[in-house]
């Protein structure tokens, strides 16, 4: 039995290495073709080539994902095809200027692509749901730009409205159906929340010129994400689903450590000791929470966050003694965490 399991693992590794080698060979072939023919093509022809290539890549991924051995590889290739399609839409500005018929036709495809591919992505893995959710916002922005000719500020406001409506709908679908299989809705909601961080930045910094206010707005959005994560974990009956939700706290801790440290250093201009303490407090809170619910990814992320804060602070001081002391404190903390992982239960006892 051990031998057969070893053989199976070897075959999986061999499959992955072979697929990666094939992908590299395909990339090199494409690069060679482009290097030879690209300069002689017109801008419209280049856009067409990019569009056709993106469709071919997506179709290849779709075919591969229908086969059990190639499902994950096929899904990655599909996402690559959609990303290339988005790049082709951006590049189309070189061929058809704003307001032209070509720009409107190409821009309309940015609306068609996510609508047509959405149901297919929804029936695939949760990773595809997350990727499609994020890329849908990109395609929406390209539609508003190429087809409707809106300026940057208008595009950001429309995306803000679309995201708020989408998050509201997903929240209504999720909040009362935790025990009836809402995994894909939850993944889409989570992806939308992360996308919201980007839109908050664009809205505050690019549209409203809030300066330090943008940092505070991002902090508030992050706090909302933390609150929703804790609420979801507390209201999810299944252990597997709850563990998935709790794992998102790992990302929240890493983001929060950076956000709080940046807020202290840039928005408040406090001394290094103050922002380091604030950022470390986020890591410590995540560490205690992760230990209490026995979520190892959150424990690991929190520990990594603490190490990062101590290291950045030590480097900021440019003092070898401070750096050594910071690393010593980190080592003691890691030893303490290792001793607590086996003894702390979900009830904190």
DSSP string, 59-89: HHHHHHHTSGGGHHHHHHHHHHHHHHHHHHH
In Å, the largest CA–CA distance within the chain is 71
Residue 266 DSSP class: I
Residue 231 confidence (pLDDT) above 60: yes
User: Distances from the Cα of 247 to the Cαs of 59, 253, 271, 292, in angstroms?
Assistant: 33, 10, 32, 13
pLDDT digits (tens, 9 = 90+) for 298-326: 988 998 898 888 778 777 766 666 667 76
Mean pLDDT, the chain, integer: 83
Contacts of 19 (CB under 8 A, 6+ apart): 70, 73
Calculated CA dihedral for residues 81, 82, 83, 86, nearest 10 degrees: 120
Contacts of 143 (CB under 8 A, 6+ apart): 107, 108, 110, 111
Mean pLDDT of 168-181: 74
User: Distances from the Cα of 121 to the Cαs of 45, 65, 99, 180, in angstroms?
Assistant: 29, 11, 32, 20
Alpha-carbon span 249 to 299, nearest angstrom: 10
Residue 346 confidence (pLDDT) above 60: no
User: Among the listed ranges 11-20, 57-66, 268-277, which one has the minimum average pLDDT value?
Assistant: 11-20
Contacts of 209 (CB under 8 A, 6+ apart): none
Q: Is residue 274 part of a domain?
A: yes
Joined together, the tokens standing for residue 68 give 């059990």
Residue 195 confidence (pLDDT) above 60: yes
How many structural domains compose the chain? Answer: 1
Residue 262 confidence (pLDDT) above 50: yes
CB-based burial label for 274 (10 Å; 0-12, 13-18, 19+): middle
Alpha-carbon span 275 to 265, nearest angstrom: 6
Mean pLDDT of 184-193: 88
Residue 348: its pLDDT value, please? 44
Mean pLDDT of 24-40: 69
Residue 178 confidence (pLDDT) above 70: no
Q: Single out the residue of 299, 201, 297, 218 nearest to residue 258, CA to CA.
A: 218
Q: Is residue 194 part of a domain?
A: no
Which of 62-76, 85-99, 139-153: highest mean pLDDT?
139-153
Joined together, the tokens standing for residue 154 give 């208008």
**pLDDT bracket for residue 349 (50, 70, 90):** very low
Q: Is residue 78 part of a domain?
A: no
Q: Is residue 81 part of a domain?
A: no
Alpha-carbon span 244 to 179, nearest angstrom: 14
Residue 345: its pLDDT value, please? 46
Mean pLDDT of 218-234: 90
Residue 119 confidence (pLDDT) above 70: yes
Q: Is residue 233 part of a domain?
A: yes
**pLDDT bracket for residue 3 (50, 70, 90):** low
SS3 185: helix
Residue 74 confidence (pLDDT) above 60: yes
**pLDDT bracket for residue 53 (50, 70, 90):** confident
Alpha-carbon span 3 to 7, nearest angstrom: 6
pLDDT digits (tens, 9 = 90+) for 123-161: 888 888 999 999 999 999 999 999 999 999 999 999 999
Q: Is residue 5 part of a domain?
A: no
Q: Which residue has the higher pLDDT, 307 or 218?
A: 218
Range of the domain at 218: 210-349
Decide if 296 contacts 288 (C-beta within 8 A): no
Residue 243: its pLDDT value, please? 72
Q: Is residue 272 part of a domain?
A: yes
Q: Is residue 217 part of a domain?
A: yes
Residue 347 confidence (pLDDT) above 50: no
Residue 40: its pLDDT value, please? 80
SS3 49: helix
Residue 245: its pLDDT value, please? 78
Mean pLDDT of 158-166: 96
Alpha-carbon span 334 to 329, nearest angstrom: 9
User: Among the listed ranges 13-27, 99-113, 115-129, 276-290, which one has the minimum average pLDDT value?
Assistant: 13-27
């Amino acid at each position: 039995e051990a031998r057969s399991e070893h053989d199976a693992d070897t075959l999986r590794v061999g499959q992955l290495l072979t697929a990666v080698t094939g992908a590299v060979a395909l990339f090199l072939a494409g690069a060679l073709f482009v290097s030879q023919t690209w300069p002689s093509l017109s801008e419209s022809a280049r856009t067409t080539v990019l569009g056709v290539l993106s469709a071919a890549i997506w179709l290849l991924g779709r075919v591969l994902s229908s086969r059990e051995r190639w499902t994950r590889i096929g899904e990655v290739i599909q996402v690559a095809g959609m990303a290339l399609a988005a790049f082709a839409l951006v590049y189309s500005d070189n061929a058809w200027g704003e307001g032209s018929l070509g720009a409107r036709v190409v821009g309309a495809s940015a609306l068609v692509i996510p609508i047509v591919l959405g149901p297919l992505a929804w029936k695939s893995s949760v990773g595809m749901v997350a990727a499609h959710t994020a890329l849908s916002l990109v395609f929406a922005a390209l539609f508003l730009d190429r087809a409707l000719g809106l300026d940057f500020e208008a595009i950001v406001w429309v995306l803000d409205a679309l995201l708020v409506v989408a998050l509201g709908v997903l929240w209504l679908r999720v909040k009362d159906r935790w025990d009836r299989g809402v995994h894909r809705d939850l993944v889409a909601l989570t992806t939308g929340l992360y996308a919201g961080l980007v839109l908050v930045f664009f809205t505050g910094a690019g549209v409203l010129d809030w300066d330090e206010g943008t940092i505070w707005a991002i902090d508030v959005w992050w706090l909302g994400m933390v609150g929703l994560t804790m609420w979801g974990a507390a209201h999810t009956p299944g252990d597997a689903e709850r563990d998935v939700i709790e794992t998102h706290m790992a990302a929240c801790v890493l983001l929060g450590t950076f956000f709080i440290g940046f807020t202290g250093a840039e928005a408040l201009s406090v001394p290094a000791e103050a922002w380091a303490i604030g950022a470390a407090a986020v890591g410590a809170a995540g560490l205690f929470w992760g230990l209490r619910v026995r979520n190892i990814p959150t424990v690991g992320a929190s520990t990594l966050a603490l190490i990062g804060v101590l290291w950045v602070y030590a480097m900021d001081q440019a003092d070898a003694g401070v750096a050594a002391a910071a690393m010593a404190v980190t080592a003691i903390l890691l030893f303490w965490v290792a001793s607590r992982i086996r003894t702390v239960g979900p009830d904190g006892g």
